[in-house]
Amino acid sequence: MRSVKIYSPATVANLVCGFDVLGMCLNEPNDIMEVKLLEEKKVTIKSKDGYNLPADPAQNTAGAPLLAMLEELKEPAGFEVTIEKHIKPGSGIGSSAASAAGSVVAANHLLGNIFSKEDLVRFAMFGEKVASGVKHADNITPCIYGGITLIRSIFPLDIVSIPAPRLYVTVVHPQIEVRTSDARQILRKEVLLKDAIRQWGNIAGLVAGFIKQDYELIGRSLEDVIIEPVRSILIPGFDEVKKSCKEAGALGGGISGSGPSIFMLSKDEATANEVGKIMQDIYAKIGLPHHVYVTTVNNEGVRIIKN
């Protein structure tokens, strides 16, 4: 029976001023998944970790995308998926996307890469629908494509890879629960035009900063006048983390996805490590369990580690 083992990485969605359209792939942490090709049309999910995720494939973020993929296959085939999750569900660094993207990349590999990356994004969005009720692609896309990605449009799907200079990423996950659906509900349905203008000036600056490799411009553009002021209230210590990390030399950063994780970008490793220490100190002082990752941008996305 043919099988494949993969690393499926964590991702940071939104990137401060790019709510719902920008995302970035990280080198750490990673889920490990093993997918076996079956001869009959079915999907089974096995879990090797302690998380209590649904075993019913239609309700599982790795299973639903595979069911969508099987619908478009002519020959009878199926998949058995074993998940070893290291990206905590609810952390805001793309745990559900890692399951959804990992399963479709692995399955496509076993089928001889008959589907395009865009097809895989389309399938994987069914996993996000199961996880949060919304078919968003801002974690899935960087997870499948690697690097920094823009979803210019979701219907029809229009994906743009954004080249960027070397960036270090420090992420802190303060272990409180922020549900994606709650984080979405507290947003206003209308925003001031003047705020929207400031936001699109910032996202234009951020994209230009990435492609032109202008670190200063990247830093100045990491400003969010619409989502962050509302959502950051749900994250204890947010303002202090952001202020102290920027004072220590981080280019900037903000809420990862819908939180509670916070990410900061740095130009060099020493700063990224220093930023990590600051985050640890702040949450130790608050008395909140937390985990810090110091990593880099992953330009490859989901990676096959064993055929």
In the complex, which residues of this chain contact a copy of itself (CB under 8 A)?
17-22, 150-153, 158, 160, 162-163, 187-194, 196-209, 211-212, 217, 220-221, 226
CB of 219 to a copy of itself, least distance (A): 11
Distance of closest approach, residue 231 Cβ to a copy of itself, in angstroms: 13
Residues with active-site annotation:
128, 180
Integer-rounded Cα radius of gyration of the chain: 19
Smallest separation (angstroms) from a copy of itself to the CB of 200: 4
Do residues 207 and 201 make contact, with C-beta atoms less than 8 angstroms apart? no
* Contact between residue 144 and residue 7 where contact means Cβ atoms under 8 Å apart: no
Tell me the C-alpha distance between 101 and 122, whole Å: 10
86 versus 246: smaller Cβ distance to a copy of itself: 246
Q: Can you tell me whether residue 153 is helix, strand or coil?
A: strand
Angle between helices 95-110 and 63-71 (to 10 degrees): 40
As measured in angstroms, the least distance from the Cβ of 301 to a copy of itself is: 19
By beta-carbon proximity to a copy of itself, the closer residue of 95 and 149 is 149
73: CB partners within 8 A, 6+ apart = 111
Give yes or no for a contact between 183 and 234, defined as CB atoms under 8 angstroms apart: yes
Cα(53)–Cα(121) distance, integer angstroms? 22
Tokens representing residue 36 in the block: 């076996």
Q: Compare residues 113 and 116 and give the one whose CB is closer to a copy of itself.
A: 116
Specify the residue, 42 or 198, whose C-beta has the smaller distance to a copy of itself.
198
